Structure 1
Amino acid sequence: MLQQNHAAKVILLCLLLFFSSSATAQTTDPEAQAIAEKVMQNMGGKKNWEKTRYLAWTFNDQYQIWDKHENRFRWEQGDQVVVLDTERKEGKVYVAGEEMQDQEEKRKLLDRAYALWINNSYWLVMPFKLQDPGVNLKYLNEAQTMDGAPADVLEMTFEEVGLTPQNKYWIWVDKDKGLVTQWAFFRNYQDKEPTFTRRWANYQDYGRIKLANDRSNPQSDFELIHVAAPRSVPDAVFNSPVPVEKF
C-alpha cells in the first residue's frame, strides 16, 4: 500500500496542472490523435462519457462519489466526510457525523478533498482525458506491454500550464483492443526512466462506458474497488454526514 500511496502523491502536482488547463491550446500529431479518438470510441464514446453523471469508487481506502454534471464530489475515509463543490471549492466537512466548525481546519480539508478529487478520479478515468484542452499527444513507437502484448505508445505532456510542466506520461494502447493497457509517469520530462509503470487492465462495462480497475505491476498488486456508475444517487446519500453504503 505504501508504494501506491507514493505513486499517487508524485503525480498529484501534474494532475493539478492537468485539470487547470481547460483554456489552453492542444497540440497533437495526427497519428496520436487518431489513436486517442479510437480509445474514446472503444470506451463508449464521447457522448456516453458526457451522459454518464455519477461515478463511485474506492482508492487507497478512500470512497468517493463524483457527480460530473453538477460538479459535486463526495469523499469519505474513516469517520471523515467531505461534500465538495468542485467549481467553487466550497462545501461541508463532517467528522463522526458532526459538521466541522473550525473554519481554518475546514478550509484545509476542503482543499485536500479538491486535490484528491483531481488525483483519485484521474486514476479511474485517465483514458477519457487524452484529448482534453491543454494536453499534447505525440506518437512514439510500437512496443510491448509488461504482459507482452503489442501496443502503440503515446507520449502525453501539458501545454505551458501549472507548476510542473516538465512532467510527462507514456500511454500504451493495445493494438487489437484499442484500449489503454499500461501507463508510465515521469517526474521530469528529460528523465530516462519512469517513476512508475503500471497496468491499466480488467475492463468492464459500467452503464454506458468502460472502465478498468487493475493498476498493478510486478512490484505491487493494486486495484480500484467498489467501482460503479449508478444511474442516480439520492441527495440524502450524497450529502450524508456519515459514511454511506457503497454502490
Structure 2
Amino acid sequence: MKKYTLLLFLISLLLSCTDTQQEQTIVQKIANANGFENWEDVKELRYTFNVRVNDTLRTSRAWTWQPKTNMVTLTTPDSTVTYNHKTEAAANEKTDQRFINDQYWLLFPFHLAWDEMEWEHTEEATAPISGEQMQRVTVTYPGGAGYTPGDQYEVYFGDDHIIREWVYLSGGSRENPFPATWEDYKDFSGINIAQMHRSKDGSFELFFTDVSVE
C-alpha cells in the first residue's frame, strides 16, 4: 500500500511539473532566460546609460536604483536627484521619464513579466538587422498607459529565448520604425544584461557602463 501511495505521489508530481512547463508563456520564458527568478534578491542596481550618435557621446547619466524601497538616484554632470519612484514620480516627472526609459532598455525582458500588455508570438520571422530567421514576439502597450501609451515592440530572439534584435514603433506607428541590436550580454549576479544596442548602420549606439548588481 505504501509503494502504491508513493507511486501515485510521484506520478502526480511529474504531471504537476509538466503542467507548469506547459503553462509558461513565451514572454515568461524570455524573462526567465535573463534571470528573472533572481530579481527578488536584488537590493541595489547601478548603471550608466549612454547614447553615442556618429561617434559623439550625446547622453550619459548614472543611476542607482534600490527596487525594494523604490528609491532612485540620478547623477548627471550638472546635478543629482533622489526620489521615490512609487510615491514621488509625479513631483519628479522629467527625471522619472528618464528613469523609465533607461531601465526599460536595461531590463526589457523583465518588463515582459511585470507589465500589462498584449503580445503575439510568431515562430518564424526575419530579423530586421541580421536578416536571420528567429522567433518574434510583438508587444503592444494599451493606450493611455504610462508615459508613451500605445507603443509597440517587435522582439526577435532565438531558441534560447535571448533577445537579439528589436524594432521600436512609437505609438504603434510604422512610419518611423527604430530597429536595434541586443548584444554584449553579461551576467551580473544572475541578472543577464545586454550592454550594447546598435542601429543597422552603426551610427547610433546605446550602451551601459559601470553596471553592478547587489
Q: CA offsets, 1:23-51, max 9 Å, x none?
A: xxxxxxxx9x632122122112x331222
**Equivalent-residue separation in structure 2 for 1:114 and 1:80 (angstroms):** 15
- Relative distance call for 1:206 and 1:152 in structure 2 (3 A) is same
**Equivalent-residue separation in structure 2 for 1:83 and 1:153 (angstroms):** 37
Q: CA offsets, 1:76-130, max 9 Å, x none?
A: 111300011111117xxxxxxxxxxxxxxxx5xx322111111111010011111
Q: Aligned residues, how many?
A: 180
Residue aligning to 1:74? 73
Secondary structure (helix, strand or coil) at the match of 2:119 reads: strand
The residue type paired with residue 129 of structure 1 is H
Residue 155 of structure 1 and its aligned partner are, at CA, apart by: 0.7
Secondary structure (helix, strand or coil) at the match of 2:195 reads: strand
Residue 155 (structure 2) pairs with residue 171 (structure 1): yes
Residues 184 and 194, structure 1, Cα contact 8 Å, conserved in 2: no
**Equivalent-residue separation in structure 1 for 2:131 and 2:173 (angstroms):** 26
Q: Whose strand proportion is higher, 1 or 2? A: 2
**Equivalent-residue separation in structure 2 for 1:83 and 1:156 (angstroms):** 31
Residue 161 of structure 1 and its aligned partner are, at CA, apart by: 3.4
* Counterpart pick for 2:136 among 143, 153, 156: 153
Residues 164 and 181, structure 2, Cα contact 8 Å, conserved in 1: yes
Residues 183 and 199, structure 1, Cα contact 8 Å, conserved in 2: yes
Percent of aligned positions that are identical:
22
The residue type paired with residue 69 of structure 1 is K
Residues 84 and 113, structure 1, Cα contact 8 Å, conserved in 2: no
The residue type paired with residue 188 of structure 2 is Y
Task: Give 5+ residue unaligned stretches, structure 2.
Answer: 1-21, 50-58
**Equivalent-residue separation in structure 2 for 1:206 and 1:144 (angstroms):** 30
| Structure label with greater radius of gyration | 2
TM-score, normalised relative to structure 1 = 0.65
- Relative distance call for 1:165 and 1:179 in structure 2 (3 A) is same
TM-score, normalised relative to structure 2 = 0.75
Q: Which has the higher contact order (CA 8 A, sep 6+)?
A: 1
